[in-house]
């Protein structure tokens, strides 16, 4: 399949040029099995300019130290756990880390309540198993087993959604770096470069608590919500532009002013305080994450491009905002109405927005 037709290329495909130029300039020591040095991986994540003038775009916007700790963890024999509320770029960072360290972000296990042990260890091709008995050829590798054999990064998404007994199969893998295959009287020993990046959601804590034995094998990095409005606006603007161009939406510039307004609404409701610090607000039940702000703007752009005059206006984002805020039709609606009347209405420059929200509320 040609790359152009793919809806969402993997990070290592999309940013192949950046990874190649980084590798070229990278004369620092690389840990065994790594494609790049820890310095270059960090530069890939946070962006920067290389001596030759090549520009690396930032993937993650946030404290540099966090990314340094994450990368340093991967260079040791410990696994990395990215923790945080929804929409704080855990999955995003994990994908880019795997792409930069191993050149492959696809060795992925998605944790769900139904994740079985085979997804973490290995399964069998039953036709072959019945015909030939257990053999190497009848074995079906899990992404984790493949990562061990190759010496790559394996990713586990939503670790705490997996049943506890499945989580615990990771313990041997992480501490002994081996995966026994008793049926074949053999084992797979991890090559150097093998490590695990897991993500877990703060809000899901308690779904399936991480056992302390497993937790001890991870270094945890907590990804925070963007610190300032400006940071969050920058994140949203950059992602919206990338998504818009990959969807080939008709050219519709997302005015920074409209993005700032959406981000402001989200931050005020999330924090329970208006930005001038004067009005206390109730917070709705939804998370109102950066990721949701990105999708509100992206849908708004599609509306403006296809049904509007090509300029993103208040009316194009109002529906999306109300949808994100009002998750619970009763209690959230009260919160939203109160916000609308006490904050939005009082801002003369938000007239258009107030009117648009009234129309869809």
Ligand X SMILES: Nc1ncnc2c1ncn2[C@@H]1O[C@H](COP(=O)(O)OP(=O)(O)OP(=O)(O)O)[C@@H](O)[C@H]1O
Mark 93-126 as b/e (b = at least 16 C-beta within 10 Å).
Answer: bbbbbbbbbbbbbbbbbebeeebeeebbbbbeee
Nearer to ligand X, 36 or 293 (CB): 293
Interface segment toward ligand X; rule CB under 6 A; list 87-95, 188-196, 324-332, 338-346: 87-95
Rounded CA gap, 301 and 253, in Å?
8
Interface segment toward ligand X; rule CB under 6 A; list 86-94, 96-104, 172-180, 342-350: 86-94
Half-sphere exposure of 69 (CA within 13 A, CB side): 14
The CB-of-122 to Mg ion minimum distance in angstroms stands at 25
Rounded CA gap, 335 and 85, in Å?
21
86 near ligand X (CB under 6 A): yes
Nearer to ligand X, 167 or 274 (CB): 167
143's tokens:
């992404």
Rounded CA gap, 322 and 357, in Å?
7
Nearer to Mg ion, 14 or 91 (CB): 91
The CB-of-208 to ligand X minimum distance in angstroms stands at 15
Going by C-beta distance under 8 Å and a sequence separation of 6 or more, which residues neighbour residue 46? 58, 59, 60, 64, 67
Any idea what DSSP says for residue 273? B
Residue from 226, 244, 284, 315 binding ligand X (CB under 6 A): 226
The CB-of-11 to Mg ion minimum distance in angstroms stands at 14
Nearer to ligand X, 236 or 357 (CB): 236
Handedness of CA 227, 231, 237, 238 (dihedral sign): negative
The CB-of-244 to ligand X minimum distance in angstroms stands at 13
239 near ligand X (CB under 6 A): yes
The CB-of-95 to Mg ion minimum distance in angstroms stands at 10
Interface segment toward ligand X; rule CB under 6 A; list 11-19, 268-276, 277-285, 290-298: 290-298
Rounded CA gap, 55 and 112, in Å?
38
Let me know how long the chain is: 361
Residue from 91, 135, 279, 342 binding Mg ion (CB under 5 A): 91
Question: How many residues make contact with ligand X (CB under 6 A)?
Answer: 19
Residues lying near ligand X in the complex (CB under 6 A) are found at 60-62, 84, 86-92, 199, 201, 226, 235, 239, 290-291, 294
Residue ranges that bind Mg ion, judged by CB under 5 A: 91
């Amino acid at each position: 399949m040609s790359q152009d037709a793919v809806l969402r290329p993997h990070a290592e495909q999309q940013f192949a040029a950046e990874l190649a130029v980084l590798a070229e300039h990278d004369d620092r020591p690389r840990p065994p099995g790594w494609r790049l040095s820890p310095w270059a991986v960090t530069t890939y994540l946070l962006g920067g300019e290389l001596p030759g003038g090549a520009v690396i775009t930032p993937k993650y916007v946030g404290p540099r130290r966090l990314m340094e700790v994450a990368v340093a963890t991967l260079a040791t024999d410990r696994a990395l756990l990215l923790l945080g509320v929804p929409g704080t770029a855990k999955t995003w960072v994990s994908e880019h880390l795997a792409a930069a360290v191993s050149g492959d972000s696809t060795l992925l296990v998605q944790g769900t309540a139904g994740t079985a042990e085979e997804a973490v260890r290995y399964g069998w091709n039953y036709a072959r198993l019945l015909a030939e008995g257990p053999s190497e050829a009848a074995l079906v590798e899990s992404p984790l087993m493949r990562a061990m054999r190759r010496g790559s990064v394996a990713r586990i998404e939503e670790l705490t959604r997996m049943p506890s007994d499945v989580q615990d199969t990771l313990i041997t893998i992480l501490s002994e770096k081996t995966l026994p295959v008793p049926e074949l009287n053999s084992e797979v020993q991890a090559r150097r470069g093998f490590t695990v990046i897991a993500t877990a959601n703060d809000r899901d804590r308690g779904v399936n608590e991480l056992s302390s034995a497993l937790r001890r094998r991870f270094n945890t990095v907590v990804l925070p919500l963007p610190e300032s409005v400006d940071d969050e606006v920058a994140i949203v603007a950059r992602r919206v532009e990338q998504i818009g161009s990959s969807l080939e939406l008709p050219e519709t510039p997302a005015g920074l002013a409209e993005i700032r307004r959406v981000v402001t609404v989200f931050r005020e409701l999330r924090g329970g305080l208006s930005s001038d610090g004067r009005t206390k607000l109730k917070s709705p039940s939804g998370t109102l994450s950066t990721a949701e702000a990105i999708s509100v703007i992206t849908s708004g752009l599609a509306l403006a491009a296809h049904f509007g005059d090509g300029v993103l206006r208040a009316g194009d984002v109002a529906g999306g905002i109300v949808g994100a805020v009002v998750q619970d039709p009763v209690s959230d609606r009260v919160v939203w109405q109160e916000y609308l009347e006490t904050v939005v209405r009082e801002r003369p420059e938000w007239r258009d927005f107030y009117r648009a929200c009234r129309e869809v509320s």
